[in-house]
Chain A
């Protein structure tokens, strides 16, 4: 019977699956960044400044730097990414790009996930460049299992970027969004920051205070819960007006 034919015109669907939509959004963000390199450059320089500032302000010895290095790295990334995250959405406000995005298929979740992936990539690039500098400036020599850093830092970065992207979109229409984003992001990010700092500290100092890797598990749990909630609620933020 012809009545049961699926009524999907190729113009409407474009043949894109949900991951395809995410990839399309992601490609757009990556291309914009590739052409301007605004976010990565500004974050990199800003984070470098924070690292230098802390290093001068505390003038740490090798033992203290192991204790504080995790915190300094996290806070430097945090400050640097806040400014870039604001720009990530502010860019879409110009020429009503956000309104156009709202009308795309796939809903807010695809836009959100693509934005998070793009920002995650940018922040990771910054950390990859900054990491060696950091080890040199602070004379670091990890005493614990350094391979775990490759697990902890992406997990912490994901927590930061996922929440940050969400709340940047939330605060984008407010009067003073530059101020509002840190005000709402920092308290909610605090548990993840604590977990990240403590696990980095355990790895660098090599103490056995956390043999079950409880803090890393906690960080992973935080990532899963908050990313899920963000994905579910992003449509509300996008269509808030």
Chain B
């Protein structure tokens, strides 16, 4: 039953992504100024928006971990699994943003990369979360989740800077399409539809991956917990 539901979810997700691709590549009209290269927008922007979502999952889970750490360790452990998963999926999405950006920049701007505020803060955001994952790997022992949770709060401080970068400064990066000027935004309904489908498809896809990652992490925690308990039992057996 569980497998059936999971299979169904995966099929639905793939169908959504296929529809998103179809809408972006065939239904939506080409951009008046940029031509077909503008279609990368349907991937770049949804990933940018969603990487905030997953980094937010990471920081909220980290705060929950710090809150539950003392009085409810089981719940804290679950929160830690969500924190790892959020950071990993977020890094993947942020990587997609950093790859699709230069792919668009090269034909439109004539350069792959420029050190403007938006691009720089995005790169810093990516670096911070990669270092978060590295720190989790390097630090060993029972204190890793607490230290990682602290690091995650520092990482989250860069998110508002990144979000505001092309609102506060005049950057080479295009100004925000949504939530910026009243004149901005997608005016063509087909473009808006293609954008909406892609946001939905990639959100569902990311959430499915997040769910799988949490599940795997919980299994790992169970294995580690059982191993620790077995080692303790053996120790008390030999000392008696």
Taking Cβ atoms with an 8 Å cutoff, the residues of A that contact B are: 167, 170-171, 173-176, 179-180, 183-184, 186-188, 190-191, 194, 225-226, 229, 233, 236-237, 240-241
Contact = CB atoms under 8 A, between A and B. Distances in A.
B140 A174 contact: yes
Contact of B120 (A179, A180, A194, A237): A194
A188 B129 CA distance: 10
Interface residues of B, number: 28
B158 interface: yes
A187 B127 contact: yes
Prevailing SS type, chain A contact patch? helix
Contacts of A183: 131, 134-135, 138
B149 A180 contact: no
B209 interface: no
Given A191-B161, A226-B157, A180 B139 contact: yes
B146 interface: yes
A71 B62 CA distance: 35
Nearest to B145: A240
Contacts, number: 74
Given A170-B147, A188-B131, A237-B150, 20 more contacts: A167-B151, A170-B150, A171-B138, A173-B139, A173-B141, A174-B135, A174-B139, A175-B139, A180-B134, A180-B138, A183-B131, A183-B138, A187-B124, A188-B154, A188-B155, A191-B158, A229-B153, A229-B157, A236-B150, A237-B146
A171 B135 contact: yes
Given A188-B154, A191-B124, A191-B161, A240 B138 contact: no
Given A188-B154, A225-B157, A173 B143 contact: yes
B49 interface: no
A241 B124 contact: no
B128 A188 contact: yes
A187 B120 CA distance: 11
Nearest to A214: B169
B45 interface: no
24 contacts: A167-B151, A170-B150, A171-B138, A173-B139, A175-B139, A175-B140, A176-B138, A180-B135, A180-B138, A180-B139, A186-B131, A187-B130, A188-B155, A190-B124, A190-B127, A191-B158, A191-B161, A194-B120, A233-B150, A236-B146, A236-B149, A236-B150, A241-B142, A241-B143
B204 interface: no
B153 A233 contact: yes
Nearest to B134: A183
* A-B pairs with lowest CB-CB distance, top 4: A174-B139, A240-B143, A187-B127, A240-B146
A214 B15 CA distance: 49
A175 B66 contact: no
A184 B120 contact: no
**B143, B153, B154 — most chain A CB neighbours (10 Å):** B154
A176 B139 CA distance: 8
Contacts of B158: 188, 191
Contacts of B132: 184
A173 B143 CA distance: 9
A236 B153 CA distance: 12
Interface string B75-87: 0000000000000
